[in-house]
Amino acid sequence: MTTSLEFWLYLPQMRLSMEQMVERARNAESAGFDGIAGMDHMAPPLAEDQPMYEAMVSTTWLAAHTDRMSLGSLVLCDSFRHPAQLAREAVSIDHASGGRFELGIGWGSVAKEFGTFGVGSQEPRYRVSRLKESLDIMTALWRGERFDYEGEHFTLRGAQQRPTPLDRIPIVIGGAGKKTMELVSTYADWWNLHIQILDRYEELRPLAGKSRPSLQVQTAFIGSEDRRDEIVSTAQRRFGRRIVAGSAGELVDYFGDLGERGVERVYVWFTDFAAAETLATFGSGVIDALRS
């Protein structure tokens, strides 16, 4: 079985030092991962007392310490940043990384934090309409031409930014609601689908237009059969029962099946927080096996 499936490491920037994140990013790059993505929240969901670094700063730091892999977030919350500021940040990382940055963005998955931190609105209609305007503004700014914009949320007069992106900054949009899918079809290079609605993939796929589908998978990698029960029970205690657990051979079959269904990228979230041995063994046993 061979596949062109892309493998990204999903690495939330919490409970890890900057040095530990760099170590995992470099290990992932050596193991054959195509990219690395973090999360974007004001505080870690369901773990608000844990330490966490800011998404764009973390991405910039990892870009400076890697050579090949692409970088981004799954996904940035639109309400946290003004689109003109985010457009400037994206181009800056794009240039600093040699064109390896991707802009993952959505309208927010944890409504509670908007009220807690006084950012944006908890109203879904407001957030999705704001995201559309942000995408309008950022893609216009990336063209480098002066323009005006009049919207419900933003007004720009004679706005222009230089430099422009080195090439095209890919846009990743997460979500599956009707309004979100309209944005995916219009703006996105990549569409990210939540694994909990994977059974609706064939139904939703036509709504994504030309964007390429991706999926985040919480993975318990079983490197030793002697530890299978321990690894699975620990993973389920940390992440619940919606994990994908398996040996290299089992995961080759699982990810290969996703590729055959049309999924073109997976964000692998390892339930052991991407231990060095896990990344190396997954690279040789799963990634290499699917590509050879």
List the domains of the chain with CATH numbers.
1-37+211-292 (no CATH), 75-209 (3.20.20.30)
Task: Decide: 121 and 69 in contact? Cβ < 8 Å.
Answer: no
Here the tokens at position 94 are 């794009």
3-state secondary structure the chain: CCCCCEEEEECCCECCCHHHHHHHHHHHHHHCCCEEEECCCCCCCCCCCCCECCHHHHHHHHHHCCCCCEEEECCEEHHHCCHHHHHHHHHHHHHHCCCCECEEEECCCCCHHHHHHCCCCCCHHHHHHHHHHHHHHHHHHCCCCCEEEECCCCEEEEECCCCCCCCCCCEEEECCCHHHHHHHHHHCCEEEECHHHHHHHHHHHHHHCCCEEEEEEEEEECCCHHHHHHHHHHHHHHHCCCCEEECHHHHHHHHHHHHHHCCCEEEEEECCCCCHHHHHHHHHHHHHHHHC
pLDDT of residue 2: 58
pLDDT in tens, the chain (292 residues): 556 899 999 999 999 999 999 999 999 999 999 999 999 999 998 889 999 999 999 999 999 999 999 999 999 999 999 999 999 999 999 999 999 999 999 998 888 899 999 998 889 899 999 999 999 999 999 999 999 999 999 999 999 999 999 999 999 999 999 999 999 999 999 999 989 899 999 999 999 999 999 999 999 999 989 999 999 999 999 888 889 999 999 999 999 999 999 999 999 999 999 999 999 999 999 999 999 8
- Compute CA distances 178 → 39, 181, 207, whole Å: 23, 5, 9
Give the integer Cα–Cα distance in Å for 265 and 259.
8
Give the C-alpha separation, 268 to 98, whole Å: 24
Tell me how far apart the alpha carbons of residues 135 and 216 are, in angstroms, rounded to a whole number: 23
Angle, vertex CA 217, rays to CA 201 and CA 80, nearest 5: 90
| pLDDT recorded at residue 209 | 97
Report the DSSP pairing between strands 70-73 and 76-77. unpaired
